[in-house]
Amino acid sequence: MEIIRVKDAAQGGKKAFELIQEGMNNGAKVLGLATGSTPETLYAEMTASDVDFSQMTSVNLDEYVGLGGKDDQSYRHFMDLHLFDKKPFSETFVPNGKASDLVAECQRYDDVIAAHPVDIQILGIGQNGHIGFNEPGASFEGTTSVVDLTESTINANKRYFDKVEDVPTTAISMGIGSITRSKKIILMAFGEVKADAIKQMIDGPVTTHLPASVLQNHNDVIVIIDEAAASKL
């Protein structure tokens, strides 16, 4: 696990973009992408660049159950707004939060991941150590599933909604087993609120109580953190 300390989120986005460019130059074709505030600076770097992504494929981590691509708070909408509308990809995959059969949708998404093995996976980390929407207790071998969001995750995401009652309580998430099969993982974390999770992820035991700790077992992980997120290391 390589730790890269940066000044702030803007510098972190630049560094992550450099690593993606390096990976693409070495043949990477599939990017695993995340949503939320953490990767926004990375997507800003990608859209401002002259790099052509039209031969690349993206596979996103998750989507809220009950939200479709036209919903302003959906992760498909987030990705379109921040990246895909500005930088077209060959193919883009996000789980269908409005699927009528969620079990079948999870299997479909596992098939997508199997057909498009991820070369570089971008991750954030929740304050409780979740990756994707894999909350504490999730199996390290897990594949795509419908997950119940914890109160801390719902509270962390309520800033994107008019009121906390509007925040979905379930999501479709790529499983930890699928995430860790990515060839390279780049985890980004900024701000003091992430310091405890980063400390436990790097220095704590590998345990399902802190899902991100499983990354200690992966052979190619780069962690990009600002000084605030690194403050407890």
> Active site residue: 45, 62, 63, 226, which one?
62
Mean pLDDT value of segment 94-111? 97
CB 135 within 8 A of CB 153: yes
CA distance 202 to 104: 35
**Per-residue pLDDT at 91 exceeds 80:** yes
Which residues contact residue 200 at a Cβ distance below 8 angstroms, ignoring those fewer than 6 apart?
A: 129, 210, 212, 213
The pLDDT confidence band at residue 190, using thresholds 50, 70 and 90, is very high
pLDDT of residue 179: 98
pLDDT of residue 106: 98
Strand, helix or coil for residue 61: coil
Q: Are strands 120-123 and 2-6 parallel, antiparallel or unpaired?
A: unpaired
- Indicate the range of 11-25, 58-72, 129-143, 153-167 predicted with least confidence: 153-167
The pLDDT confidence band at residue 97, using thresholds 50, 70 and 90, is very high
62 is catalytic: yes
The pLDDT confidence band at residue 74, using thresholds 50, 70 and 90, is very high
Q: Is the dihedral of CA 102, 104, 106, 108 positive or negative?
A: negative
135 is catalytic: yes
> Active site residue: 45, 119, 130, 226, which one?
130
**Per-residue pLDDT at 126 exceeds 90:** yes
Q: Encode pLDDT of 192-219 as tens digits.
A: 999 999 999 999 999 999 999 999 999 9
pLDDT of residue 163: 81
116 is catalytic: no
pLDDT of residue 62: 96
CB 77 within 8 A of CB 71: yes
- Supply the mean pLDDT for the chain: 95
Tell which wins on pLDDT, 54 or 158: 54
Looking at the chain, the number of H-run helices and the number of E-run strands are: 7, 10
Mean pLDDT value of segment 158-184? 90
105 is catalytic: no
Strand, helix or coil for residue 72: coil
